A and B are shown apart, each in its own frame.
Chain A
């Protein structure tokens, strides 16, 4: 009998017992991931309001919640006349296209310095340059398309661009 008890006891010790709960690091990892999911959309909403980042992007779970927001970017000379983008080099046009795409996603976090520099390099006849960013959105107060403009003015310095 004593031998039986002893044998069972050894067997119990040999079989690894399944722990009752997951390791602490795993519980912490799951909690951290869920905390991120709980808080990020609120930060995202703040970034949309302050910097006008694209509400459908960056994982804020705001797709189909509001208008996609359209963007129009105009390049004007000092006189206010538009600069014909066809007069720019391929590099200049590419810089403007890159800014359009970046601005659409990153909003005010994207500034047109590089695009302006490229335009001024291509157009030595211009001393001043204005880039106007027009943002369109669906106004919840009126149900109509609303817009506002932000202008970036660049003045050529004696050394060259900007």
Chain B
């Protein structure tokens, strides 16, 4: 009886469907190919998930407030180019990275101000920023990639403190921080409250405009951290980097069970969502599946994951209303 209760409690947690999906995928791949469940490959997958994983943290905050941020891919390019140019001018790595992060925060804050002060819908404001930031990245770099960086930066991608690849460690730390903020701080509760009912939150005396602006700044910051990882990984800053990342990040958030309507979801779900996407891509590469079929498979997984999540949630709602 107790084990049944435990199972029920686990199933009723928000991330249950997503975690189950990830497990099923991993078991399937473990059966299908001997190359999947090796320590080296699992480290490889975790490392590959860091890029989208980090942007998806900021995206989770934004989507929890009921918004959307389409500019993240372009901000990756812009922040990356800023880091690249700073390094090219001989600035120390720490200063270059700080400038890149600043660029991300400033652009994200502008998104937030357009939405809160200018009353623009988030879709429009960030769509505009997507184009502005991409153009700025191309202008700053003259359209060319910038490459050849000091080892102090490369170590962000190649180092492995405590035997964990540095990008994975950074991603996990950021997820822990985001989890803490969302579940243990007042600001985190406001993020959910704004997404749940913005008007009610405002009427209860919360400075909604401020908190929403900060959320977009966080998304810009997450994009800039991703830019740092990407520049270090490729040893090159590209003005065309990050195209389509906004959709991958949104997919990770949605697979993770966060509602696009805002107000409900979790950052842990997003982490699992990002892992599902990398595990799937990795597995399809290992199996030598055709590149065309891969795109179909990824689309199917997004749809199936959300279907399972919705089914589980309906069930949880039913059982909780029965017990009440």
The yes or no verdict on A and B being binding partners is no
State the A residues within 8 Å of B (CB): none
State the B residues within 8 Å of A (CB): none
